[in-house]
Structure 1
Amino acid sequence: MLFRNTPFFVLTSLAASLCAQAETILLPPVITTAARQPQSPREVIGDVTLIDQASIQESAAISLPDLLARQPGLQISSNGGAGKPSSVFLRGNNSQHTLVLIDGIRVGSATLGAAAFQHFPLSQIDRIEILRGPAASLYGSDAIGGVIQIFSKTGKKGFHPSVEIGYGSHNSIEAKAGISGGDEDTRYALNLAHSKTDGISAIKNSKNPGFYPDDDGYENNSLSFSLTHKINKDNELGASLISAWGKNQLDGYVFDDNYAAVAQSYDYRDETRNSSANIWSKNRLTSHWSSLIKLGHSSDKNTSFTPQSATDYSDKTSRIQTEQTQLSWLNDIKTDLGTFQLGAETLEQKVSGDVAYAVDQRRINSLQAGYLAHFGDVSLQINARSDDNSQLGRHNTGSAGLAWQLNDDWQLGGTAGTAFKAPTFNDLYWPEDPYSSGNANLRPEESNNKELFIRYSAGTINASLTAYTNKVSNLIQWAESRPYFSQPMNVGEAQLRGITLTSDWQQGDYLAGFSYDFLDASDKSTGANHGNRLARRAKHSGLIYAGMTLDTWTLRAEIQAQGHRFDDPANKKELAGYALTNLSASWKINKDWSLQARVNNLFDQEYEQVKDYGTLGRNAMLNLRWQQ
């Protein structure tokens, strides 16, 4: 998959080289998500972006969704500011069609089918890899649009404490502290973070029945921990953890006996906990055979608070929780013909809370095989996987990719693959009421993707062009199964076609670049919406940036743009296009101290990502950091 020197990566690699401590050694980047084994960027087949730690620190992003929105091939919609529900559309696919991993462990809700990106703070993340295109042959269900893998922070040799404080618009506060260190054999890292903001009104349109003119704040507390120990040159053990607790205020209403919207003044809110932990053993069994065994657990917990009734504003709580336990064993066997990968995995998903599902757990047992080889200037990757779901039976997927190094500067390649998404517990087993219910007869959603890419890398310029087409069938949509009674049904189809163009330039102390996406995301279902654009997907989006260094300063300016979209499948509610200008600057005061300032939406652009919901106007943040 194509490694991109993203705008953040290019800028911050330069900043890091100027400001790094004397003992720091800059290692070449390694990508693991594309083949479930380490690869150099030149070896990767397809479409991947790496966002490293330096890029995260130096970016002007205020949250993980904000950072992802600036990456090629991704569009984001957020319901009203910090901590509010966010949807990620990777290559135009539904938000539930992106698999999210933390250190190789699945995270997210098995009832809603998506991960809570808004609750994972950037301060706990070491790097992010974004794999575009179907990856079910590597990871199983959900990876129709691709994979976003988050890696927790790890330690490095020595002892390195750090403290950071920040203050910004909307009474936003950030406080972070951490220690990391170790020796040749043992490394550790522990990081704590707190953030809080008064926020903005989640709903901004006064005509919306849920509108209430107050600020809807958000608070997040988080920690991450990692530990690795090298027993000898062939055997290594490790463990990692990320956990975040959130408190989030919302806008809402309930109906009275006359079906009028009331109780807007109530403090609608939710409390969340999202976590992922794993332990692993990496072993070189022979000179040609390496093994990775990993046991992990993730949880997604949410407690919502609403009024008891239209006249009783005391708290009514609603709880929902997903627990996922995953055990995997991967084996890489190197031969003269290439590297063969064999793997087995078992995943148990459980849901609990106030909703009584007819079935509240399932197990998926999986086998996978892969082949990766380099024949002179040609690279080949083949993957196949079989997933046996206790609810839905067996599903098989496969993919193949080929890359040809035309010369030192140019590479040409392509991939093809199938993917699927299993229905959620809500889709299958939502309890029946007089008007609706789940549907236990649903089939998995399926996709068939093909893409071609060409990339250029020489001297000061890196550029790439990727074209893709993805047909998604058996899409699950609510429809009437009998008069006045609705259920989720496999009645939808979509055609996703697009191109992604990126270019990055760096010369001495100066750099610049851009990314551009064209996306044709069309509804191919029969019915009134046939031929319409999928909701909240823009045809045109992109980013342009420029940066420079001035002694101990790094400066950056960027424009992030998105074309008009529709908020509904009927394409009746249009969302206007917008362009945001963001500025950031960092000053290396001395060896240990640095100051960072950022201003987002410099010209106070008014825009919407979801109809009637608020977005941040001009906002700024100032951070002071001490690190040894």
Structure 2
Amino acid sequence: MNFRNLAGACLISIGTCAHALDEVVVTPARYAQSLGEVVPSVVVITREMIERSPSVDIAGLLRWHAGLEISRTGGTGQQTSVFIRGTESDHATVLINGVKMNSATVGIGALEMINTSVIDRIEIVKGPRSTVYGSDAVGGVINIITSNFGQDDENSTSFHVMQGRYGMDEQGVRLRYGNDQASGNLSFSRLDTQGFPARNTSGTDHGHDNETFDFNIQTKVGAGEVALGFWQAKGNTEYDSFGSDNDQDRKNNILRAALTVPVSDNWHSTLSMSRTKDEIRQNQENSLSSGNKDFAFTDRVVYDWKNDFTLNDHVLVLGASLADEDTDSLSFGTSYRENTDIYSVYLHDRFARNRHSLFTATRYTDHEDFGSAVTWNLEYGYSLATQTRLSASVGTGFRAPNSSSRFGFGGNPDLREETSRSIEAGISYDLNPLTALSLRIFDNRIEDLIDWDVTISQNRNIERARIKGIEAALSHQSGPWDIRLEGIIQNPRNETENSRLLRRAKRTLTGSLAYSREQFFVQINSLVTSQRRDFGDVALSGYGLVDVSAGYHFPYVTLALKAENLLDKEFELASGYNQPGQSVFAELQIKPM
């Protein structure tokens, strides 16, 4: 591995050097296109970036990018939420290889169940994507890609071991193979950590263990192609519940199958089926549930028919999908069982000619419980001869309340669906092939935002929220040095009550300084964020973090040291919950072929 080339790849984010614009992404429109053709803000985290990052879990990877805020109730394995540009955590659609993993009961994707050792890359689109991915994608999309064969054109076997503070112990193996007819990968990872007290009033460590299995294969069949994939993450998490030490088992399964057929030179048709299962089982009896053990199950099956047409300067996508969701839950004495069908048809068009790029899309959704909704996106980009690119976009979003929000503990069956309209404008400028600046402003208005009312212990629509902000980024490469700075200033407001939305900061600045020469690399990440509010109008103080990693690449072996929270700062991401102190981890990777 050439770490000099790796350093340049690390700058793929909202401020992107000219040489990275040829990077191919699939998440913005569900087909491959170069990053330079994409109008919305996109963050790409590659496998090489994950390996050299000081972060040891997915929460750590995401928080170093402007507009991605993390909330976590403890350490590794505890419930993790991400807020994209100030929107709610359930406004982020989390995908595994393009398949939605958000629970229809909890509402968010179980990021804490994803071990980074099985990830090939992460693509994050900031801004509404309900038109492309349906309900929930009001704030954006996080696509966890575990099978990315073809990007590095090599068969490989690798082994991974990492150990460190809080009893962290992780092992994994990854196999990749491909030829002209077929390609595939197989990954297994096991993680165990003793943890630390999740709440600051507890004296008991709360640990987490996780096993992740991932298998993907795609093969040519005649003129077409068949793809199969299976993902499973299962584990146990200990946590503090109102002063009691509890634990729960959780399992996520995603099965997907797709057949792509070239109907003609300009028309490719894809039929796909996916099934997502999310299971949470409480291991202690709940007195409020008549001595029974609480649980929450989601079983979602999605059938999708997607047609891609290439017509001169246009890429046209026409498709339809049917989702069948089953949910079953018992929580604090409240139980429910629901079945929901969601049907949608969608149409996208991307036009690219010379310096112009235009993306238009619309989606009609027929929700069994909330009727019909139409969402749309209009995005335009224009490149000037002076290496300057202008962009503007407007889009709408739609999110139907999940079953727990309506029928679970504190549920409200009278909840209305959330809708949004977002406007964004941006400019990027390449000072030279190795230095880039970017600036984006955004304004997101959300109607009927669903929030928890602590005064009545029930979910309710708060009528109106508005999030205005500005993002800026600078990236620069000079010889063995790489520098990245990202910042956001935002105002996430509950306009009905004239208050700030919870657990979101107004100002965040992140930076990365990397040095690589020959086979050696070192990276320093830093973050500074301002005060936030939490439930009960509790103020969460602003904080600053510094993480460091260093490593050396021997033939077939890479050794690395990672240090999180190097300055041992005390901070909270949720009121009353501890976060990791200074932590050092040693990592060994073996790649015999």
Instruction: Tell me the TM-score normalised to structure 2 length.
Output: 0.92
Q: Does residue 1:583 correspond to 2:554, yes or no? A: no
| Equivalent residues of 2:522, 2:550 under 8 A apart | yes
- Within the candidate set 86, 95, 108, 2:80 is matched to 86
Query: Which residue of structure 2 aligns with residue 289 of structure 1?
Result: 267
Instruction: Tell me the TM-score normalised to structure 1 length.
Output: 0.87
2:162 corresponds to which letter in structure 1? G
Deviation (angstroms), 1:89:
0.6
Give the 3-state SS of the residue equivalent to 2:56 in structure 1. Answer: coil
Deviation (angstroms), 1:160:
2.1
Deviation (angstroms), 1:357:
5.6
Q: Map of 1:18-33 to 2, 5 A cutoff?
A: 29-33=23-27
Taking the aligned partners of 2:346 and 2:447, their CA distance within structure 1 comes to 24
String of CA shifts for 1:98-145, please: whole Å, max 9, x gaps.
111112211121122111111111112111111111111111111111
Give the 3-state SS of the residue equivalent to 1:427 in structure 2. Answer: helix
| Equivalent residues of 2:43, 2:125 under 8 A apart | yes
String of CA shifts for 1:330-377, please: whole Å, max 9, x gaps.
111121352221011111111124467665110111000011102321
String of CA shifts for 1:310-340, please: whole Å, max 9, x gaps.
9xxx995212110111111111112135222
- Within the candidate set 534, 538, 545, 2:501 is matched to 534
String of CA shifts for 1:476-500, please: whole Å, max 9, x gaps.
23569xxx97653333311100111
Distance 1:158 1:272, change over 3 A: same
Structure number with higher relative contact order (C-alpha < 8 Å, ≥ 6 residues apart): 2
Distance 1:308 1:459, change over 3 A: closer
Query: Which residue of structure 1 aligns with residue 206 of structure 2?
Result: 216
Taking the aligned partners of 2:241 and 2:335, their CA distance within structure 1 comes to 26
Q: Does residue 1:319 correspond to 2:295, yes or no? A: yes
Q: Does residue 1:494 correspond to 2:465, yes or no? A: yes
Taking the aligned partners of 1:560 and 1:119, their CA distance within structure 2 comes to 24
Q: Does residue 1:567 correspond to 2:540, yes or no? A: no
2:37 corresponds to which letter in structure 1? E
Query: Which residue of structure 2 aligns with residue 600 of structure 1?
Result: 564
Deviation (angstroms), 1:11:
2.7
Taking the aligned partners of 1:52 and 1:298, their CA distance within structure 2 comes to 25
| Equivalent residues of 2:8, 2:477 under 8 A apart | no
- Within the candidate set 367, 376, 388, 1:398 is matched to 376
85-94 vs 335-344, which deviates more? 335-344
Give the 3-state SS of the residue equivalent to 1:613 in structure 2. Answer: coil
35-44 vs 336-345, which deviates more? 336-345
Give RMSD over aligned pairs: 2.4
Taking the aligned partners of 1:448 and 1:603, their CA distance within structure 2 comes to 41
2:103 corresponds to which letter in structure 1? S
Query: Which residue of structure 1 aligns with residue 318 of structure 2?
Result: 342
Distance 1:335 1:307, change over 3 A: closer
Query: Which residue of structure 1 aligns with residue 15 of structure 2?
Result: none
Give the 3-state SS of the residue equivalent to 1:250 in structure 2. Answer: strand
Taking the aligned partners of 1:152 and 1:30, their CA distance within structure 2 comes to 16
Taking the aligned partners of 2:475 and 2:444, their CA distance within structure 1 comes to 27
Q: Does residue 1:547 correspond to 2:547, yes or no? A: no
Aligned length: 576
Structure 2 gap segments, 5+ residues each: 12-19
Query: Which residue of structure 2 aligns with residue 250 of structure 1?
Result: 239
String of CA shifts for 1:77-115, please: whole Å, max 9, x gaps.
100111111111100001011111112211121122111
Taking the aligned partners of 1:115 and 1:78, their CA distance within structure 2 comes to 13
Deviation (angstroms), 1:626:
0.6
1:317 corresponds to which letter in structure 2? K
Query: Which residue of structure 2 aligns with residue 141 of structure 1?
Result: 135
Taking the aligned partners of 1:61 and 1:543, their CA distance within structure 2 comes to 14
* Bigger CA radius of gyration: 1
Query: Which residue of structure 1 aligns with residue 95 of structure 2?
Result: 101
Distance 1:524 1:308, change over 3 A: closer
| Equivalent residues of 1:9, 1:54 under 8 A apart | no
Q: Map of 1:396-545 to 2, 5 A cutoff?
A: 396-407=374-385, 409-430=387-408, 437-439=411-413, 441-457=414-430, 458-478=432-452, 487-525=458-496, 530-545=497-512
String of CA shifts for 1:21-54, please: whole Å, max 9, x gaps.
xxxxx99521111122211011111211111111
Q: Does residue 1:225 correspond to 2:196, yes or no? A: no
Taking the aligned partners of 2:470 and 2:10, their CA distance within structure 1 comes to 29
1:124 corresponds to which letter in structure 2? V
Q: Does residue 1:38 correspond to 2:2, yes or no? A: no
Distance 1:542 1:478, change over 3 A: closer
Taking the aligned partners of 2:259 and 2:395, their CA distance within structure 1 comes to 30
Give the 3-state SS of the residue equivalent to 1:72 in structure 2. Answer: coil
String of CA shifts for 1:229-286, please: whole Å, max 9, x gaps.
1235x42111112211111111123xxxxxxxxxx4x541111001222111222211
Give the 3-state SS of the residue equivalent to 1:360 in structure 2. Answer: strand
Distance 1:488 1:601, change over 3 A: closer
Query: Which residue of structure 2 aligns with residue 328 of structure 1?
Result: 304
Distance 1:442 1:589, change over 3 A: same
Query: Which residue of structure 2 aligns with residue 22 of structure 1?
Result: none
Distance 1:376 1:551, change over 3 A: closer
Q: Map of 1:351-362 to 2, 5 A cutoff?
A: 351-354=327-330, 360-362=338-340
1:212 corresponds to which letter in structure 2? S
Give the 3-state SS of the residue equivalent to 1:65 in structure 2. Answer: helix
Deviation (angstroms), 1:219:
0.6
1:451 corresponds to which letter in structure 2? E
Query: Which residue of structure 1 aligns with residue 44 of structure 2?
Result: 50
1:602 corresponds to which letter in structure 2? L
Taking the aligned partners of 2:411 and 2:382, their CA distance within structure 1 comes to 51
Q: Map of 1:147-162 to 2, 5 A cutoff?
A: 147-155=141-149, 159-162=155-158
| Equivalent residues of 1:167, 1:173 under 8 A apart | yes
| Equivalent residues of 1:583, 1:602 under 8 A apart | yes
Distance 1:416 1:308, change over 3 A: closer
| Equivalent residues of 2:346, 2:362 under 8 A apart | yes
Give the 3-state SS of the residue equivalent to 1:442 in structure 2. Answer: coil
Taking the aligned partners of 1:479 and 1:371, their CA distance within structure 2 comes to 41
Query: Which residue of structure 2 aligns with residue 4 of structure 1?
Result: none
Q: Does residue 1:170 correspond to 2:166, yes or no? A: yes
Q: Does residue 1:197 correspond to 2:174, yes or no? A: no
Structure 1 gap segments, 5+ residues each: 1-7, 16-25, 205-210, 254-263
Distance 1:561 1:507, change over 3 A: same
Deviation (angstroms), 1:177:
1.3
